[in-house]
Structure 1
């Protein structure tokens, strides 16, 4: 009986908790597009998703992670180091490469890391064991969530309630691709390349504008009003909750097709070009909207290229730009408390007048 219980526990431990299929999610096209483009090109800079409670934000974010192809990492490495890309290696792996040592590798699922609201800076960044460093001369680093999220997705639910200092740390790491921990003159640096995804409810407070600007894209989602769509959403969720494996089987073909499209788009991305005239038009839109800095121009160019790659093209067209530009610019506009027009509509008005 004892051995039987051990077997049951082992089976349950190995059993992966089913994730709601991305292709089964009804509506919320803006959020789904923003997430897809960010996994095709993580350099877009992540996405902030703001919307009503109970609109499937968390479900969609976890579903996109489940779609991504496995990644190759150095075996037993704490930072998911890439075995050949120097920029994605920890110092220990770099040392092995420089010595010419063989690096054993393994394939793992793309990391999906949740950052809890109550997390401390040490939990996020990692800690250095000062006592061991001083007494034994050994630099011992306990990795944090940024290390675990390297080459994956870091998800912060209710990011607008997160301590501003932690948001600064996250955005700096996301922008630079590195996390540096310094304690008592001892410093450890490791790669931290991840897609930063934040979600929140605007009723609970806004992010500071300078922090909001650091997110590549901003998706706004609203509760579905159409009765037939609401019924369809409820049916899909009920079907999944009653028997997730049957639901997964039903959408397996669509999931496989989308997985293949993402992988192909990632490979094609480096060959996608955008004509000079179209780049000028993008910058003209940003200038007309009085967008501060150049992040809006850069992100719009990147997102348009990712969309072209997703659509099996190597050249960006004007429709690609029109599709992504609101997502890239709406959160970068200066807020006027007396203005009644929505920021997304304002972007669209300028886009229609310039991108003809």
Structure 2
């Protein structure tokens, strides 16, 4: 789970993470903690879309117009936005609304930004994503894939950047996501309850120590946290120069083919995740081992469901990977 989150932060184009697991296993806690690892970002001051001061792809229309006219853009540094999407959210709250009255009376496009605008250049977290309305999940996935949100109301159209890492979590007992929605998430992590008693005791002790004095607990792990932040920043810089050989790309596609994965998303995501993993380990060339480490996360949720299948989908992926790469068990 932590690896999947880190890789998505290094390369948001991987397409987000779906985390399914038992109740009370720290899914939400881990996801909310990732925001503290990330460096601050520079945005145009008082802009509701967290527009980038120089990157045109990450600018709202208003900021882009000012930028084109060489106007001076005042900037500020903010923490990477972490936006929670509540289960009861309406489509207007997610996408934003157009104030029709103001548009008609004053002749201006009065747009009230939604959660997608706030999440631009940040993380959008949906807890219990399997209980969210399917059409809302569709909207989120479309925006995450295209990087833009378009609102069409009463003949008025507004478009703004919505580049974010989409993270969903849920409990499989409460129902699964539709396969075509599941396929749109880049990676899928499964969390199970820890069975080792000594490890369970350690988790309980850490939690108690945090409750007694949160500040001391945070300071105790601050150095480790800072190291990880540095590692992620370095990996983001290194990512554009990471390469993957043709032979390994063929092997990835061979694995997807044997597993009968529909479409090509599995191949694309595995290639991107392998590069991000190599960058995280400060290398510019992807190795076979990199692929073995991340491929289960990328393909587990893309396999066709067979009710008579006794083997877990993750184990099935590992089995095929061992065969293709000729790894001795």
Q: Same fold, TM exceeding 0.5? A: yes
User: After the TM superposition, which segments of 4 or more aligned residues of structure 1 sit over 4 Å from their partners?
Assistant: none
Once residues 247 and 321 of structure 2 are traced to their aligned partners in structure 1, the CA distance between those partners, rounded to angstroms, is 15
SS at match of 1:190: strand
2:286 pairs with 1:316: yes
Match of 1:89 in 2: 59
Once residues 298 and 241 of structure 1 are traced to their aligned partners in structure 2, the CA distance between those partners, rounded to angstroms, is 43
2:275 pairs with 1:340: no
Q: Give deviations 1:235-262, integer Å, cap 9, x for gaps.
A: 1111111101101111011011000000
Match of 2:204 in 1: 234
5 Å matches for 1:127-142? 127-142=97-112
Shift in Å, 1:155: 0.3
2:6 pairs with 1:36: yes
Once residues 203 and 153 of structure 1 are traced to their aligned partners in structure 2, the CA distance between those partners, rounded to angstroms, is 26
Unaligned runs of 5+ in 2: none
Once residues 41 and 238 of structure 2 are traced to their aligned partners in structure 1, the CA distance between those partners, rounded to angstroms, is 18
Q: Give deviations 1:63-117, integer Å, cap 9, x for gaps.
A: 1111100000011111000111110000001000110111111000000000000
2:113 pairs with 1:149: no
SS at match of 2:25: coil
Match of 1:98 in 2: 68
Shift in Å, 1:338: 1.1
Match of 2:189 in 1: 219
Q: Give deviations 1:3-29, integer Å, cap 9, x for gaps.
A: xxxxxxxxxxxxxxxxxxxxxxxxxxx
Once residues 330 and 121 of structure 1 are traced to their aligned partners in structure 2, the CA distance between those partners, rounded to angstroms, is 30
Question: For 2:241, which of 263, 271, 279 is the aligned residue?
Answer: 271
SS at match of 2:123: strand
Pairs aligned (count): 326
Once residues 76 and 68 of structure 1 are traced to their aligned partners in structure 2, the CA distance between those partners, rounded to angstroms, is 21
5 Å matches for 1:28-67? 31-67=1-37
Match of 1:166 in 2: 136
Match of 1:119 in 2: 89
SS at match of 2:319: helix
Match of 1:291 in 2: 261
SS at match of 1:180: strand
Once residues 10 and 68 of structure 2 are traced to their aligned partners in structure 1, the CA distance between those partners, rounded to angstroms, is 30
Once residues 192 and 291 of structure 2 are traced to their aligned partners in structure 1, the CA distance between those partners, rounded to angstroms, is 23
Shift in Å, 1:134: 1.1
2:49 pairs with 1:69: no
SS at match of 1:219: strand
2:179 pairs with 1:209: yes
Once residues 325 and 24 of structure 2 are traced to their aligned partners in structure 1, the CA distance between those partners, rounded to angstroms, is 36
Shift in Å, 1:135: 1.4
Shift in Å, 1:331: 0.3
Shift in Å, 1:118: 0.3
2:154 pairs with 1:184: yes
Question: TM-score scaled to structure 2, two decimals?
Answer: 0.98
2:269 pairs with 1:306: no
Question: TM-score scaled to structure 1, two decimals?
Answer: 0.91
Once residues 41 and 236 of structure 1 are traced to their aligned partners in structure 2, the CA distance between those partners, rounded to angstroms, is 31
Q: Give deviations 1:30-68, integer Å, cap 9, x for gaps.
A: x01100101111100000000000000000001111110
Once residues 325 and 118 of structure 2 are traced to their aligned partners in structure 1, the CA distance between those partners, rounded to angstroms, is 42
Once residues 93 and 325 of structure 2 are traced to their aligned partners in structure 1, the CA distance between those partners, rounded to angstroms, is 46
Q: Give deviations 1:115-156, integer Å, cap 9, x for gaps.
A: 000000000000000111111101100000000000000000
**Alignment root-mean-square deviation, CA:** 0.5
